[in-house]
Amino acid sequence: MRYAAPLLMLAAAGCAQMQADLEKSAAFGANQAQQKLPEDAKPTPNPTPGADAEATPAPVEARPIGVSEEAFRALHQLSTETPPALKGEMVAVGGGQAYLSLPEGKVAPMPAVVVIHEWWGLNDHIKHWADRLAAEGYAALAVDLYGGKAGTTPEEAQALMKAVDPAKAQATLAEAYAFLAEDARIKAPRRASIGWCFGGGWSLQLALAQPEDAAVIYYGRVVTDPEALTKIHGKLLGIFANQDQGIPPKDVDAFEAALKEAGVDARILRYDAQHAFANPSSARYDAPAAEAAWAEVQAFLRAELKP
């Protein structure tokens, strides 16, 4: 029997609806309630960027180390019985479990990243992302905000996301953040977070709650209250899609303006792609945009975590 990897091969067809449901969830607190998304927002097969769409940023030069975009994409096109081996292991963090991937041959101290999953949950796709970050020299800890569960259909993912308790999620992220500094294998002197979609919003929330050195947000729910954003201590890299109907350019404009007013050192990048464009398991995967964004992330984390 051929290996069917539903957690890896799922198309992100439900992601736009997830963004609509996110407005109903308390998971992101009062700040997130400012974002209003029509309940019937659906992605179109070939949407045309709006007049306010910015040009795709030119990719920065990245060092030839780690996992290339082509190799990373191959991890999500599985067709044999045995999936590619993961590099890390599940570890106890607080009252739950997380996936820890460490750089080969490195010893503490080392920079570290909290990795926050999409609405599907902590599946192999996210674990491969942690491995990818470990290949860049970071201790990568992928948290589980669903308590050991993962969705294999949009309906399951939606139910899991809506069941997230915001206080428990914040506690899980705080425990992960502390783990990276305290664990004897890591002893991270500098820490960051990264997340996609649902996880992108939580990466921003972690930056608001903890004095982390940097945060990366891939098309996650934004906050547009400048006063709230003044709590951010480190630098921020936001990656968004001009064809994203869940988080449209006008919302990104408002987010960028609020960050500037709050005095946050932030860089907002926009790509002419759709939501979930960086996920090789998604029907909206855009290889050129994903590769360009990853080069930016590499440079950003290198600058902020390896000064």
Are 212 and 236 spatial neighbours (Cβ–Cβ below 8 Å)?
Answer: no
Q: Which residues of 241-265 are buried (b: 16+ CB within 10 A; e: fewer)?
A: bbbbbbbbbebbebbbebbeebebe
Catalytic hit among 124, 131, 144, 244: 244
**Catalytic site includes residue 244:** yes
Cα-only R_g, the chain: 18
Strands of 112-116's sheet, edge to edge? 89-93, 96-101, 139-142, 112-116, 191-196, 214-218, 235-241, 266-271
State how far the alpha carbon of 126 is from the alpha carbons of 30, 118, 143, 255, 256, in Å: 28, 8, 9, 26, 27
Catalytic hit among 131, 183, 275, 286: 275
**Catalytic site includes residue 21:** no
Catalytic hit among 15, 125, 128, 197: 197
**Catalytic site includes residue 197:** yes
Q: Cite the active site residues.
A: 197, 244, 275
